[in-house]
Amino acid sequence: MGIVMLTALNKLPRYMKKITILMVDFLILWVALWAAFAMRLDTWLPKYFFFYLDIWGFVPFLTIPVLYYLGVYNAVIRYLSPHFLVPILRSACIAVLMFAGVAIMNHIQIPRMIYIFYCANVAILMGGVRLLAKLYLPDVSYLECRKQKIALYGAGKAGTQVAHALQGSSEYRVVAFFDDNVEIQGWEILGIRVFPPHQLEEVVERFQIDELVLCIPSASRCRRREILESIDKIQDVKMKILPGIPNIVSGQVRVDDIREVEIEDLLGRDPVEPKIELLREGITDRTVLVSGAGGSIGSELCRQILDQHPAQLVLLEANEYGLYSIEKELRARMSPGDEVNIVSVLGSIVDGKRCQRVMEAYGVQSIYHAAAYKHVPIVEQNLSEGIRNNIFGTLEFALAAEAAKVERFTLISTDKAVRPSSAMGATKRFAELILQGLNRRGSTTEFSMVRFGNVLGSSGSVIPLFRRQIRTGGPVTVTHPEMTRYFMTIPEAAQLVLQASAMASGGDVFVLDMGEPVKIMDLARKMIHFSGLSIRDEETGEGDIQILFSGVRPGEKLYEELLIGKSALPTEHPRISRAEEECLEWKRLEGYLKELRYALESCDAKAARAALMRSIPSYSPSQDAHFDAATNSSGEPILFRVS
């Protein structure tokens, strides 16, 4: 009955709510005054009740306007903070003064203890009524608005602050805490019970919890991953996370800090503390150029290079919008005292002469070459452009660096270059051979390459595709149930690239430790689950998102590798190894380059593929791939592609 009344009151207009509170406070003042007399005279009906009628009538009427003037009625009861007691106490003191004033003006002798009792009664009754209303109104709002029920994993400082922040939310209602700390299990924090983690499934079902928020920002990435995997079996609960944010320390946790659980939270590792001397080597107070500066890897390289305070940072990018975006971001990232000269160059690595002029004009000393075509199916269907950009672009760019007397040149390579089955992998392996050949020829530029697997969230990654498919209701397309890939976060990959480059001595092939390989099928399952959805059962038809197997595309392998040889040598960094691999003499490479150039000019796809297979014996293209020559309206070949 009480909740129904509160629900009805909650629907009233604001002015009607104020009138209701005024009437309640008038009653409170009258009851407080009567109780003060009753307590002092120790009787339910004071002896001089009728003698004090003028006080009983005038005190509330005189006090209410003063309380209104002080702003007591401007506060929204549902969102009252503990500080609301201050104006209540002030109001009680004013009520006593009004009471004493009326008594003095009427020459009425009032026992002093009645004033004290009256003050205490006003404070207790006015504060108590508002507190009770505050406690019940969230339930009213929940019945009315159907708030989502939330459980918080972590009842420490961050979890408590999140719960407090959500108390005034119109969307969420915290119903349970979970914490590993045995000492607080069974306690109540802000009126919310703390449960042990092993009861999570039971509590979720009992309270019909909609979302579970992980509130342990101080935990390591590995620990967060362990917790997320431990609750993986719970169905139909959306997972969110409170990341490790600096303002936790200052006590400023906002509801906006809560975000969706990203796949990086499940696959990412705790980073190894970087070696500062390696990060600064070849960057600090020097001129650095990044090709493909607007791409996923290139842009992160630019961010981390900027943090090491180079003298100049030259951004080379063929995509105009990509170049504009990264330049704008880097300039906003700079501190007022930074003196880094950022230069944006719109151009392609294929234009070797222009690249050489840029390098000479700005005195480039270190280059990080991230520009490449990397999407396997696209390059597979556009072999000519893959060869032109990845092979001849790298050749022209490297020769330009050599002519401009650049000190260091680091190629960003890929695990798909190891025993390649795709055109993209083959062109990247050939690019590695070019740098190794230039080094063996006796170049003054120190050429090296860093090889690693997929990076989480890059433009060509499967993860953004899965996110879009889940957002639109599916199906999620997986090529093969046994498809396996290595994954690494973009910041970690870029940081390791910079440190590997500093250890180069010429012709080095560095391999990054990618951690454990991950099945793409498991990846899809986890992304669906942590979105609060279920996988559709093919037999019963129950579930939210369907998983379809689309088949392995031409050029794709089920498993990726990082080493061509059998072993790799350790370096001074625990996650960077140096591969020992065979390479070709420059003269042999020149012969293969001539074959590829002739194949491009004559649009002979079969000759291009044959040249790639001769230069890279481990290259084994898909058997179902065949090459066609596209022609214009006159029947002249304009390009060749894999179909």
Q: For 478-536, how does the pLDDT look when each residue is reduced to its tens digit (9 = 90+)?
A: 888 888 777 778 888 899 999 999 998 888 889 888 777 778 887 888 777 767 677 77
CA distance 260 to 242: 9
Longest dimension (CA), the chain: 120
543 assigned to some structural domain = no
**C-beta of residue 291 within 8 angstroms of C-beta of residue 349:** yes
Model pLDDT, residue 12:
55
Report which of 483, 371, 484, 379 is spatially closest to residue 426, judged by C-alpha positions: 379
What share of the chain in percent tops pLDDT 90? 23
CA distance 485 to 465: 15
Model pLDDT, residue 71:
64
**C-beta of residue 503 within 8 angstroms of C-beta of residue 368:** no
CA distance 245 to 217: 7
Neighbouring residues of 341: CB distance < 8 A, sequence distance ≥ 6: 311, 312, 313
User: Please, which pLDDT band fits residue 562 given cuts at 50, 70 and 90?
Assistant: low
Query: pLDDT of 296-352, one tens digit each?
Result: 899 999 999 999 999 999 999 999 999 999 999 999 998 877 789 999 999 999 999
**Helices 85-105 + 53-69 axis angle, to 10:** 140
Higher per-residue confidence, 267 vs 491? 491
Tell me how many domains the chain contains.
Answer: 4
525 assigned to some structural domain = no
Could you tell me if 244 and 100 lie in one domain?
A: no
Could you tell me if 92 and 159 lie in one domain?
A: no
Rounded mean pLDDT, 174-180? 86
Query: pLDDT of 366-398, one tens digit each?
Result: 999 999 998 888 888 888 899 999 999 999 999
Query: pLDDT of 61-109, one tens digit each?
Result: 767 777 776 666 655 555 555 556 677 777 777 777 777 777 777 777 7
Q: β-strand 259-260 against 238-241: which pairing, if any?
A: antiparallel
Quick check: helix, strand or coil at residue 478?
A: strand
Could you tell me if 238 and 151 lie in one domain?
A: yes
128-137, 184-193, 602-611: range with lowest mean pLDDT: 128-137
* Tokens coding 381: 């269907």
- Asked if omega into 274 is within 30° of 0 (cis), the reply is no
User: Please, which pLDDT band fits residue 182 given cuts at 50, 70 and 90?
Assistant: confident
Model pLDDT, residue 641:
44
Final residue belonging to a domain, choices 261, 293, 328: 261
85 assigned to some structural domain = yes
Could you tell me if 350 and 425 lie in one domain?
A: yes
Could you tell me if 236 and 183 lie in one domain?
A: yes
Read off the pTM. 0.66
Final residue belonging to a domain, choices 198, 229, 261: 261
Could you tell me if 434 and 294 lie in one domain?
A: yes
61 assigned to some structural domain = yes
Final residue belonging to a domain, choices 121, 144, 167: 144
292 assigned to some structural domain = yes
Could you tell me if 425 and 358 lie in one domain?
A: yes
Domain range for 616: 601-642
Could you tell me if 140 and 151 lie in one domain?
A: no
Report which of 640, 642, 641 is spatially closest to residue 603, judged by C-alpha positions: 640
Could you tell me if 138 and 174 lie in one domain?
A: no
21 assigned to some structural domain = yes
Could you tell me if 186 and 86 lie in one domain?
A: no
Could you tell me if 219 and 354 lie in one domain?
A: no
CA distance 495 to 272: 10
Neighbouring residues of 6: CB distance < 8 A, sequence distance ≥ 6: 133, 136, 137, 140
Rounded mean pLDDT, 547-571? 71
Residue 250 has pLDDT above 50, yes or no: no
Could you tell me if 239 and 380 lie in one domain?
A: no
473 assigned to some structural domain = no
Which CATH number fits the domain that encloses residue 237? 3.40.50.720
Rounded mean pLDDT, 429-443? 92
* Tokens coding 601: 């000019």
DSSP-assigned letters across all residues of 479-490: S-TT-EE-EEEH
Cα dihedral angle (252, 256, 259, 265), rounded to 10 degrees? -20
530 assigned to some structural domain = no
* Tokens coding 336: 């007022």
